[in-house]
Every structure is written in structure tokens, then in C-alpha cells.
Amino acid sequence: MSTTFQLDTATSRATPTPQPRKRLTVPAIRDHKQAGVTKEPLVMLTAYTARQAQLLDAHCDMLLVGDSLGQVIYGLPSTLSVTMEMMIAHGAAVVRGSYRALVIVDMPFGSYEASPEQAFASASRIMAETGCAAVKLEGGQAMAETIAFLSGRGIPVMAHVGLTPQAVNMLGGYGARGRSQREHEKIIADGQAVANAGAFAVVAEGVVEPIAVAMTASLEIPVIGIGASAQCDGQVLVTEDMLGMFERVPRFVKRYENLAQVVSDAAATYAAEVRARAFPTPDHTYQPKD
Ligand code: KIV
């Protein structure tokens, strides 16, 4: 399913013009797992901007406009103050910058928990204003009725169980979940509940590995792991984490680059050249035509 396309270098910085190409659909992602088995794991990364989406699109089955943008883009202390407007602005940018991956937009805290009707109003607005194909929301059994309500009305839902960052104040932190038998059983029941309710896939975040393995084996829908297990049906990471944009690296993140160093070094060279009047050179300036 993944990575047979090349980077589209034809798109311009100012006006990205995606090639017409058929996007992966929600049924294609759900049916990627056949009779409980996934041959090739699904690839998902977060994306928040059009250019980032252009660069990631060729390599990913799904792009997630995660509410982690609160911390990553806006420097907020948690995802709790992320707004609908933020999610819609970044969601629309990612849809504009991609043409192959399925784009999923996170529902922000407070936009869906009160009732299925509230969730429908928020999710339909996100889909109408961004052009995304699906939304993601956090919660298991407590959200089952809402997931059934949305799915039955044309809104595909990716669920998110285990470590659910919007519940950080209930959980008491961002540590791994499922170490006690009680919590283990609860997370497994959450996964089953969202699958029964009609979610097309579920993110399992920060759970001890046996939970991720059991959930992947028992659910018909794809289980996308983050801090979970290589046996999941797919994996997701926050792109800036895997690119090494931050010094703090959680255990479950693998850094594939050290972009923080690359950016800092480039800025230092630029600053030195500006101060020495070594930039711009004649190559970078315009002269009158004779
Ligand atoms: O907000 C986010 O980026 C997420 C992923 C970490 C799964 O929910």
C-alpha cells in the first residue's frame, strides 16, 4: 500500500498544485486488515502544514493533523487549549498539500465530549472546512455511543485509546498505561467498544506491549501503535519528534534525523555571513538591465 510514489517536486512554495491522483479511502485503510491480519503495516505521520504534507505524502498511507500541534507548533503546555480554528486551519493546509494519503484531523478537547450531537456539529464542520476524510477522537467505552452516532451519519472515526493526552489531568501524567490488571482490562475493553461502535481504525498510545499485541490480534479494525508494539497493524509518530526537532526524546520515539542541529547550524552560518556582509553576494542581488 505504501511508498511507491516519488516526491512531487513540481509544486511551488506559494501555490501548491497537487497532481490529480486517487486518495486512499477510509474503506481501503479499514480493509487493509483482512480476516484480522495485516501483511504490510500502515504508515502514519503527523502533518500540520502544506509543505510538510507535500514532503510526507508520498511515503504515508495516512497523515494525521494531530492536536499535538498545540505543543509542537504553538508552544502550549498541553493539547487542552487547542481550538477548532487551529485544527481547521492546519487541517485545510494539510489537505491542500497532499493528494494520496488519507487525511485525518483530531477533534480538539471540548468539541465532542458533551454529546453525540455536539460531536456531529464539530466533526461535520471540520470535514466541511478542511476537506479531510475522517476525524480522530480520544476515549474508549465512554465515546462508543458518539462513534456510532458519527459513523452512522457519514463521519468516519479513528478512535484513540490507552494514553489519551486530552485526559492528562485524570491520568496524572503521560506515563505508559496498562501496568495494572484493572487498567489492562479497561484498555482492552475500550478497544473492543470503539471497534464495535464502528470506528474504522484505532490508535493505541503508550500501552504496555502485551495490550497492543492482544488488541491487534482481537480487533477486526487496524490498530495503529505509538509507544505500543511492532506487531500493531500500523505505526504513527509525531513528525517533529522523529526528525529530531526537540531535545526531549520519549522512549517510544526513534530519531531518524537531527533537524534541530541542522536548523541551528544553518541559522548560525546565515547570521555570521550577514554580520560580515558576506551575504547577499552578487549572485543573490538584482542589477538594472543595460
Ligand atoms: O495529536 C497527535 O499527534 C496524536 C498522535 C500522537 C497519535 O494523537
What CATH number has the domain bearing residue 201? 3.20.20.60
Residue 197 placed within a domain: yes
Q: Which three cell numbers stand for residue 85?
A: 480554528
Does position 15 have pLDDT exceeding 60, yes or no?
Answer: no
- 92 φ/ψ angles, rounded to the nearest 5 degrees: -65, -40
Q: pLDDT of 63-96, one tens digit each? A: 999 999 999 999 999 999 999 999 999 999 999 9
E strands present in 25-182: 42-46, 62-65, 102-106, 134-138, 157-162
226-280: pLDDT as tens digits:
999 999 999 999 999 999 999 988 999 999 999 999 999 999 999 999 999 999 9
- Residue 273 forms part of a structural domain: no
C-alpha cell at 29: 485503510
Q: Give the total number of structural domains in the chain.
A: 1
User: What residues does 69 pair with on adjacent strands?
Assistant: none
Task: Write the residue with the smallest CA distance to atom 3 of ligand 1.
Answer: 66
User: What would the pLDDT profile of 91-106 be if each residue is shown by its tens digit?
Assistant: 999 999 999 999 999 9
**183 is a domain residue:** yes
Is there a catalytic annotation at residue 205? yes
Ligand 1 environment, Cβ below 6 A: 46, 64, 66-68, 106, 160, 203, 205, 226, 236, 238
Residue with cell 451519519: 153
Query: Under a CB-based contact definition with an 8 Å cutoff, are residues 36 and 217 in contact?
Result: yes
Predicted confidence (pLDDT) per residue in 149-195, tens digit: 999 999 999 999 999 999 999 999 999 999 999 999 999 999 999 99
Taking the CA atoms of residue 111, residue 113, residue 116 and residue 118 in that order, the dihedral angle to the nearest 10 degrees is -30
Catalytic residue among 129, 183, 205, 273: 205
Q: Is residue 141 part of a domain?
A: yes
> How many whole angstroms from 49 Cα to the centroid of ligand 1?
15
- Whole domain around residue 197: which residue ranges? 2-8+18-165+178-242
Q: What band does 204 get if pLDDT is binned at 50, 70 and 90?
A: very high
